[in-house]
Amino acid sequence: MAPTFQQLLAGVKQEIREVSADEVKRLLDARAPVKLIDVREADEYAGGRLPGALHIPRGYLELRIEERAGRDEELVVYCAGGTRSALAVKTLKELGYTRVASLAGGFNRWSDAALPVEKPFVLTAEQKERYRRHLILPEVGEEGQAKLLQSKVLLMGAGGLGSPAALYLAAAGVGTLGIIDSDVVDVSNLQRQVIHTRKFQGQPKVESARAAIEALNPDVKVVPFQERLTSDNVLRVLEGFDLVLDGGDNFPTRYLLNDACVLLGRPNIHGSIFRFEGQVTSFVPGQGPCYRCLYPTPPPPEFAPSCAEAGVLGVLPGLIGLLQANEALKLLLGRGEPLIGRLLTFDALGTRFQELKLRRDAKCPVCAPGAKVELIDYEQFCASARGA
């Protein structure tokens, strides 16, 4: 005679390991390397979860668990009352997961004991439709997209590099974009600064960029700073942002931004262009070199003319700006291999990429161990170096 469900469940619970809510709380308090897996449905998960839990609905568990957890990791699976999680643990054991347990009593018992509960960021139906192509990527998924929507990126400049980067970061759903630029839209910008249109000629670039971003994706909040970056305002401007995308076009601003990012521990994604050539790298404090390691002193002015003086192929800033946006998304998601300690160069005429290794300068006045960062305006420093 076939067993009833209750008999089946009782047999399963004899085969698996169950842990109490108090045991799980002790593991979390001790910051033990345990991964919590929530196998409830989306509407249940939206009401609250155990701190830091990963959401994999029971119906998708076998399909997605290998993307989220290793077979030797310590796993605690939970549902509402402990039934679905018990069956899930049995399945995971059959799949080779050796250190897996079910939370006895599930989320209900945890909540009844007044233990800590988090309110997760849950995508709306419209957001799920908008970001559908992201959601089917295991490297992004709903949790990654939620992370992007809660992220904050500052764009230094709404020009050639900042324009494409801003548009694609907005399209990707980066929730807050800060833009600092004191310039106004000029007709000569339109050859490459694709975020602007003739409609905004003579108006501040930050307002033109905000209008374009808000029209593209209403999920994105734009924080405009219509001012020049100086030693007086740089800490205020950078406050609250997760990382910075450097699309500046002059050396004093790049040095100041670098120093502030080192001081605050902010990743700084650098990009620059010159006629038919561009380069991009990611400066992450504590993990690689900084801008001053790459360029201890500014080059002579004849080797670093502006775009207005030397010209630039219109598509080049688009290519480099998108590489910067790609770096930003990788860092925000914690995926892939960022360009830390690597400088990627591009030759538009030859259509060639080249990668160069970068090393930290042990004597760098900004990022070397024990260095004291002083925020200064670098016009005089750059001028003296160029005159040397």
DSSP sequence for 236-276? HHHTT-SEEEE---SHHHHHHHHHHHHHHT--EEEEEEEBT
Question: Is the separation of the CB atoms in 156 and 244 below 8 Å?
Answer: yes
Strand partners, 221: 176
**Residue 70 host element (H or E):** none
Outline which parts of the chain fall under CATH 3.40.50.720.
151-387
Q: What is the pLDDT of residue 296?
A: 86
H-type alpha helices, the chain: 5-15, 21-29, 42-46, 61-68, 83-94, 106-112, 125-130, 132-135, 141-149, 162-172, 205-216, 234-238, 251-264, 291-294, 307-310, 316-333, 379-387
Please name the residues in contact with 176: beta carbons below 8 A apart, sequence gap of 6 or more.
151, 152, 153, 220, 221, 222, 223, 241
* CA atoms of 207 and 196, how far apart (whole Å): 10
Please count the helices (runs of H) and the strands (runs of E) in the chain: 17, 13
* pLDDT tens track for 60-101: 999 999 988 999 999 999 999 999 999 999 999 999 999 999
Residue 219 tokens, joined: 């999920």
Collapsing DSSP states into helix, strand and coil, what is residue 280? strand
Q: Residue 34: phi, psi to the nearest 5?
A: -115, 140
| Single pTM value for the model | 0.84
Q: What is the pLDDT of residue 303?
A: 56
* CA atoms of 189 and 157, how far apart (whole Å): 13
Question: Is the separation of the CB atoms in 112 and 29 below 8 Å?
Answer: no
106: left (phi over 0), alpha (psi -120 to 50) or beta: left
* pLDDT tens track for 197-250: 999 999 999 999 999 999 999 999 999 999 999 999 999 999 999 999 999 888
Outline which parts of the chain fall under CATH 3.40.250.10.
5-112
Q: What is the pLDDT of residue 1?
A: 76
- Which superfamily, per CATH, for 151-387? NAD(P)-binding Rossmann-like Domain (3.40.50.720)
Strand-by-strand arrangement of the 277-283 sheet: 221-225, 176-180, 152-156, 243-246, 268-274, 277-283, 342-347, 352-357
Q: What is the pLDDT of residue 384?
A: 47
Rg (CA), the chain: 25
The CATH number of the structural domain formed by 5-112 is: 3.40.250.10
Q: Which residues of the chain have pLDDT under 50?
A: 383-388
* CA atoms of 204 and 206, how far apart (whole Å): 5
Question: CA end-to-end span of the chain, whole Å?
Answer: 94
